[in-house]
Chain A
Amino acid sequence: MDSEQLIACPTCDVLHRDQDVPAHSVARCARCGTVLAAPKSGAMTRIAMLSLTALILLAAAAVFPFLELKAQGLSHQASVLDAVLAFSQGPMAPLSLATGLLIVLLPAARYGALVYTLAPMALGWHPAPRAAAAYRWAERLKPWAMAEIFIIGVAVALVKVSGLAKVGLGPAFWAFAALLVVTILTDNAICRLTVWKTLRTRSAS
């Protein structure tokens, strides 16, 4: 038995013979139904482009004004950076750091790693040096990149504030809203095992 041609289901460990799956069909684990391969034509290009879009949106979201509050003739503008620094005073400084990581830095790191790994695949090149490590980190960071959860939090905050004052939406708000869509599209396009298989075959050739 040549272990090179076997795939262990990442969820339940059952061995499967690694066959070439035709494009646009899905191979599932015989026991638990986990997707083992779901090759789509142009998937690498799509994921790389979506990740690049997400990076640009993230940069815009961090820089541009986010929300503006007007009440009693006073107005206050807040950027995402202000939201991050909201906890920076007093004993809650670590939470400030965590918020910054969760909504800006970790998503940026994840999308950066995805572009780094998948752009050479999309172009048909050899994988970039340490592409495996980069993609491994992209997968590990996935649950901790919470930019799309942040925008739902914004929606809730808007409802809470709306009785108190008038709220204006800045460009960064729309950047985050678009990021929500791009994140969902990216996550749906990625098939982890297919990416690994592509990385493996490209590195070998």
Chain B
Amino acid sequence: MENPQNPQRFLTAAAAGLAGCRACGTANPGGTRICACCGSPLQAAAPGSLQRVWAWLAAGMIAYVPANLYPMLRTTTFGRTSENTLIGGIAELFSHGSYGVALIVFLASIMIPVAKFLAIGYLAVSVRRPAALGSHGRLMLYEVVEFIGRWSMIDVFVVAILTALVQLDFAAAVAPGLAAVSFAMSVAFTMLAAQSFDPRLIWTADSENLDEHP
């Protein structure tokens, strides 16, 4: 579809002196602060906005550390208390033979968070540097990250449900561990990092690279 030898030139709203709205697509006159159609704040796609992405991403990664170190669940069965970390819970599911569920939890709480850190970091870095992945590839990466990020919350909900449900006095009781809080925070911060990333920057960097190497 794309022809790298002769890239098609597209006129963007920013290049035409207009302020495009990311919520409703209205092309407002340049310099407008609030979109006339939907009332969303308008922001130019400036690389400076990446600072917010980096800040949220760092917060998300920091919160992910205690999420792995502290126990997620504290189970008391007949007076004996056992603590389960994130990975411990997955291992237990696996040893019980629930491979499918173990896989879901592994994907949601280990694979997706780590992949998301890497993907958002890569997207933010590639705005400034020529990237190996083309614009379309990076846009797809961005869309996948936006879509999939919220599903990591599953594990927090599992802890909430187990805590509410398993309250059988002496026989069995489940209490949430500190990791549940830090994991929820990690997911929320990473979602905010993805939302702070302006996808228009993917293309801005691209057209600048074209100008540098005509």
Which residues of A are interface residues toward B (Cβ below 8 A)?
Answer: 1, 3, 6-15, 30-33, 36, 67, 69, 71-72, 74, 76, 78, 82-87, 91-92, 94-95, 98-99, 102-103, 132-133, 135-136, 139, 143-144, 146, 149-150, 152-157, 159-161, 163-165, 167, 192-193, 196, 199-200
Contact = CB atoms under 8 A, between A and B. Distances in A.
28 contacts: A6-B13, A9-B20, A11-B22, A11-B139, A13-B12, A13-B20, A14-B11, A15-B20, A15-B27, A32-B135, A67-B161, A69-B168, A76-B168, A95-B156, A132-B39, A146-B150, A149-B151, A153-B153, A157-B165, A159-B93, A160-B89, A164-B166, A165-B168, A165-B172, A193-B25, A196-B25, A196-B37, A196-B38
Contacts of A9: 20, 25
Contact of A8 (B27, B40, B93, B203): B27
Given A78-B165, A92-B176, A143 B146 contact: yes
B160 interface: yes
Interface of B: 8, 10-14, 16, 18, 20-29, 37-40, 45, 77, 89, 93, 96, 98, 101, 104-105, 135-136, 139, 146, 149-151, 153-169, 171-172, 176, 178, 180-181, 184, 188, 191, 195, 199-200, 202-203
B199 A15 contact: no
B38 A132 contact: yes
A31 B154 CA distance: 35
Given A32-B139, A153-B157, A192-B24, A13 B164 contact: no
A152 B166 CA distance: 18
A9 B16 CA distance: 13
B124 to A, nearest CB: 17
A200 B37 contact: yes
B2 to A, nearest CB: 9
Given A6-B18, A15-B16, A87-B176, A95 B181 contact: yes
B99 to A, nearest CB: 11
Contacts of A33: 136
Contacts of A1: 16
Given A11-B199, A149-B151, 13 more contacts: A13-B20, A13-B200, A71-B172, A76-B165, A86-B161, A86-B163, A86-B164, A95-B176, A102-B153, A136-B23, A143-B191, A154-B157, A159-B93
